[in-house]
């Protein structure tokens, strides 16, 4: 704990900025040699995207990256986290396939523009948009041996092209989403699921665990390449970004609900973080999943354990957790429990937003970042995404949308909670990237949901208008960062 009367604050070298992802903002999906990704394919399937849209134009950042950087500069951002479209760089994705120089040039231009404006680039190599050709060729993540080699090749291409200028690398964004939403629920590309009403293909009881394993091995392999071949001359750092929600027991007097909370955290966060920090999967997962959860060879453990220079944390919300007494279904992925937004006494975990899964609960952020810090030996943490949608935001006029007081309040609460974790809980948090720099293609929710601190006028040629939150976030940080 801090000394009496000590105020919550952040370290003076704290890095803050905004985050985006390639498929959500770039557009230009057929331009300059870009190949198809699994999201291009998925968006064409009727009924998969809420408004029937796609990332075809999105925010047109492929043509407007200078505007994006000017926007970052205008709001005082110190850093910008963005992702690489693998199929823009290697259209067919594979290690023997041609490299698209125009694709690499786009990212070089973006990095140069950021550096010219004193904004630090933070690159995510993979944010869900697998090249469709690799999915067609051998099943993508489901073929670990082939996939790991192709991902390593792609990573090496990017380290070589940009590593002299980029010092912060993230291997994957939210592998839980790629695995569970892509191969169990079927809500995200490629849409595999055991539910035959949704998709003729998929086995939700086995595929997600194989996908997660492939991602972990390829993460470890790419980190090894970076550390051995690039870090000595480039001097950067590399880690993975994992998502997780805070949890509270549905009935705080029920020991089984309390235990279920821990299980939920293990099934979502520790699934990936335990192998990296402890060298094995959580016992709770092994117990429930048995031989459906892959086992690590000694070589794989050597790759994966210790493969984080920092922990990338994406966080948005909290849930109440209620245990189930029944045996887990084969497709269960959360530790055999129910998640609720209200508890036994009917108390809501937080206010409603446009996203049914998202109810703000800032104290939960402080608790979760401490839980991660305690479990994994106080790693350096970068919060790589945090933000909110607003209920009915898309139905308002432009002027109303620009007055996003709810989002300002969200950032105030969450950033303060993070500062409290730093000041009073001994959490080593070094950076924070708000989600998102601008409204964009919100995956299965299409353009019906806005997460941006900047209004994007999709009807009016993708023009950008900073909302109140874009201007206020800098003030929040200025008040918390030690001068």
CA-to-CA separations, 202 to 139, 142, 154, 195, 289, in angstroms, rounded: 11, 11, 27, 8, 17
* Phi, psi dihedral angles at 135 (to 5 degrees): -65, -45
CB 480 within 8 A of CB 9: yes
Which bin fits 32, alpha (ψ -120 to 50), beta or left (φ > 0)? left
Whether the CA torsion 160, 126, 194, 326 is positive or negative: it is positive
Exactly one of 26, 36, 174, 266 is catalytic; name it. Answer: 174
Catalytic residue among 146, 300, 385, 442: 385
Residue 145 exposed, middle or buried by CB count within 10 Å (0-12, 13-18, 19+): exposed
Two tokens at 3?
């000394």
Beta pairing partners, 313:
242, 383
Q: Measuring CA to CA, which residue among 73, 166, 58, 168 is closest to residue 112?
A: 166
End-to-end CA distance of the chain: 21
Enclosing H/E stretch for 154: helix 144-162
Q: How many residues does the chain have?
A: 483
385 is catalytic: yes
Q: Which two tokens stand for residue 206?
A: 């086995």
Closest to 2 (Cα-Cα) out of 417, 422, 424, 378: 424
Q: List residues with catalytic annotation.
A: 174, 385
């Amino acid at each position: 704990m801090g000394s009496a009367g000590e105020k919550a604050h952040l370290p003076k070298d704290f890095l803050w900025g905004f985050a985006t992802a390639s498929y959500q903002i770039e557009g230009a999906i057929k331009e300059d040699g870009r190949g198809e990704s699994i999201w291009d394919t998925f968006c064409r399937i009727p009924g998969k995207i809420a408004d029937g849209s796609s990332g075809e134009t999105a925010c047109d950042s492929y043509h407007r990256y200078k505007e994006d950087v000017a926007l970052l500069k205008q709001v005082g951002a110190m850093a910008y986290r963005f992702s690489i479209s693998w199929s823009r760089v290697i259209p067919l994705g594979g290690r023997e396939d041609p490299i698209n120089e125009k694709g690499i040039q786009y990212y070089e231009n973006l990095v140069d523009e950021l550096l010219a404006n004193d904004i630090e680039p933070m690159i995510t190599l993979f944010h869900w948009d697998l090249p469709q050709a690799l999915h067609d060729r051998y099943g993508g993540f489901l073929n670990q041996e082939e996939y790991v080699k192709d991902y390593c090749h792609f990573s090496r291409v990017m380290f070589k092209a940009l590593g002299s200028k980029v010092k912060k690398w993230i291997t994957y964004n939210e592998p839980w989403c790629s695995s569970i939403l892509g191969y169990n629920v079927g809500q995200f590309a490629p849409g595999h699921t055991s539910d035959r009403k949704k998709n003729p293909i998929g086995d939700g009881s086995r595929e997600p665990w194989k996908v997660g394993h492939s991602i972990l091995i390829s993460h470890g392999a790419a980190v090894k390449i970076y550390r051995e071949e690039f870090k000595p001359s480039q001097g950067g750092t590399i880690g993975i970004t994992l998502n997780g929600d805070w949890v509270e027991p549905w009935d705080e007097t029920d020991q089984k609900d309390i235990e279920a909370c821990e299980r939920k955290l293990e099934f979502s966060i520790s699934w990936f973080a335990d192998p990296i920090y402890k060298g094995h999967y959580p016992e709770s997962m092994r117990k429930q999943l048995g031989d459906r959860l892959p086992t690590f060879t000694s070589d794989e453990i050597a790759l994966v354990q210790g493969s984080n220079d920092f922990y990338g944390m994406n966080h948005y919300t909290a849930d109440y957790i209620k245990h189930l007494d029944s045996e887990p279904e084969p497709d269960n992925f959360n530790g055999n429990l129910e998640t609720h937004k209200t508890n036994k006494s009917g108390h809501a975990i937080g206010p409603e937003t446009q996203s049914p899964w998202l109810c703000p609960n800032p104290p939960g952020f402080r608790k979760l970042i401490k839980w991660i810090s305690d479990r994994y030996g106080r790693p350096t943490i970068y919060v790589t995404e945090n933000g909110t949608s607003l209920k009915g935001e898309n139905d308002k006029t432009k002027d109303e949308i620009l007055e996003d007081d709810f989002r300002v309040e969200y950032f105030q609460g969450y950033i303060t909670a993070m500062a409290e974790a730093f000041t009073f809980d001994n959490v080593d948090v070094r950076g924070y990237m708000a989600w998102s720099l601008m409204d964009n293609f919100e995956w299965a929710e299409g353009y019906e949901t806005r997460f941006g601190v900047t209004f994007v006028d999709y009807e009016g040629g993708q023009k950008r208008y900073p909302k109140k939150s874009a201007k206020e976030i800098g003030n929040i940080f200025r008040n918390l960062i030690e001068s």
